[in-house]
Amino acid sequence: MVARTRHAAHFARAAELEAQAETISQYAPTLVPGLLQTADYARAVIRTGQPFSSAAEVDEKVAARLGRVRDLNNPTTPQLWMILHEAVLRTPVCGGLVMANQLRHLTALAGTGKLLLQVMPFSAGAHAMAEGSVILMTFAEDPPVAYVESLHSGQLLDDPAIVARCQRSYDVARAVALSPTAPMGLIESAAEEYAHE
pLDDT (tens, 9 = 90+) of the chain, 197 residues, equals: 334 456 777 788 888 888 889 999 999 999 999 999 999 999 999 999 888 989 999 999 888 888 877 666 677 778 899 999 999 999 998 889 999 999 999 999 888 888 999 999 999 989 988 888 999 999 999 999 999 988 777 899 999 999 999 999 999 999 999 998 777 888 999 999 999 88
Class of the domain covering 12-195:
alpha beta
CA angle at residue 14 from 10 to 20, to 5 degrees?
160
Question: How many angstroms separate the CA atoms of 174 and 127, rounded?
Answer: 10
Question: How many angstroms separate the CA atoms of 181 and 197, rounded?
Answer: 26
Can you give the pTM of this predicted structure? 0.89
- Contact criterion met (CB below 8 Å) for 23 and 81: yes
